[in-house]
Structure 1
Amino acid sequence: MSARRTPWWRFAVAVVLGLAAGAALVKITERSDFTVMGAPWIVPILLAVVGVVVFAMAWQVRQYVSGKRKYLNPAVSVYALVLSKALGLVAAALFGWYVGQILAALGHADAPFYAQAMVECGVSAVVCLADMVVGIVGERFCQLPPGEGPENPKIKAAERRRNLAAASSAESAASKASAAGTAASATSEVASR
């Protein structure tokens, strides 16, 4: 299985979309009786637990890759990679979501409801930032070194040298054949005179 690392711009897009959605939520809360602003205290706790679990799984893969662990269930390595990718992107979006709420509510910081919501969002944003880092690092931990297959840089370099040697030997053989052909035609020309 060949998986590519998540490009940095996807995290940036997730943060920006989260910022916009979080700010929009505060504006909706200002104009209605429906309030979903803030985050219950269980949210940062659960996010932290998920981050620890994903990091532990990715660390197992890291130990296996470095040779410090003899066996690792292949399913665990796949799950660790997929969860690391998902955690990084979701945490980036949630980080933007909570920071967007904080920024949009700054004008109402003196009101107790908004002040409490900003504290909740601040704690959740810090946990989400940590989870985003865990996702990025976990994805790097799950990156396996190239095997002995065709993707291996050593194999590619050896193959290139072989191809160059074959091409140069074929070229030299062709030039020798051409030189021999020219010499033979010159000899037959001299012989015919």
Structure 2
Amino acid sequence: MRRTRVRTLAAVAVGVAAVGLLLLRLLESRGIFVPGAAWVEVAALVLLAGLVLWAGWAVRSYLRGDRPDLDPLRAARTFAMAKAAAYTGALLAGRYVASVLLVLPQLDVEPRREVAVTSGVAALAAVGLAVVGLVVEKFCEAPPPEEDDGTEAVPS
């Protein structure tokens, strides 16, 4: 599996923010108000980022030789989990940024300001999750195998 590109994650976040903002505006024009992020979401994102980092640290120790008892399959699963965390962080960051952009013109209204603050903090936590995913992907990168280039003298 190839590592996730930052450009791809940025495109996902911007795309979700743009589409989300359009949908949120459409819903509000029809009288449906979608709430912003909750503080429990922020806590869940931070906890998830910590768990992904913890799993990645174990793989990093394994690849450095400090933890030889780790199953190589767990390293592959950790890589897949890190990739999922990176994409999840990008998706959620776009969703929360859309909420912030929606209420930005109405920051003088207390409930809208609260939505902006919680959604902004949640967006930062989601970006943190994406960054942790990218870092753990790097942790799971195995060193290239030492290959024999065939330059040794062959005895005759």
With normalisation by structure 1, the TM-score equals 0.72
Runs of 4+ in 1 over 6 A off after TM superposition: none
Structure 1 unaligned spans of 5+: 167-193
Bigger fraction of residues in helix: 1
CA distance in structure 2 between the aligned counterparts of 1:76 and 1:35, rounded to whole angstroms: 43
Q: CA 1:145 to 1:55, structure 2 compared with 1: closer, same or farther past 3 Å?
A: same
> Secondary structure of 2:4's match?
coil
* Contact residue 26 and residue 105 of structure 1 kept, 8 A: no
Greater CA radius of gyration, 1 or 2? Answer: 1
CA distance in structure 2 between the aligned counterparts of 1:75 and 1:84, rounded to whole angstroms: 14
Name the structure 2 match of 1:179.
none
CA deviations on 1:85-116 (whole Å, 9 max, x unpaired) are 01111101211221222123211111222111
Name the structure 1 match of 2:143.
145
* Contact residue 61 and residue 77 of structure 1 kept, 8 A: yes
Aligned length: 154
Shift of 1:29: 4.2
Which residue among 54, 57, 69 is the counterpart of 1:56? 54
1:109 aligns with 2:101: no
AA at the equivalent of 2:20: G
Q: CA RMSD in A?
A: 1.9
With normalisation by structure 2, the TM-score equals 0.88
Q: Which has the higher contact order (CA 8 A, sep 6+)?
A: 2
1:125 aligns with 2:95: no
Shift of 1:78: 1.8
Name the structure 2 match of 1:65.
63
1:26 aligns with 2:59: no
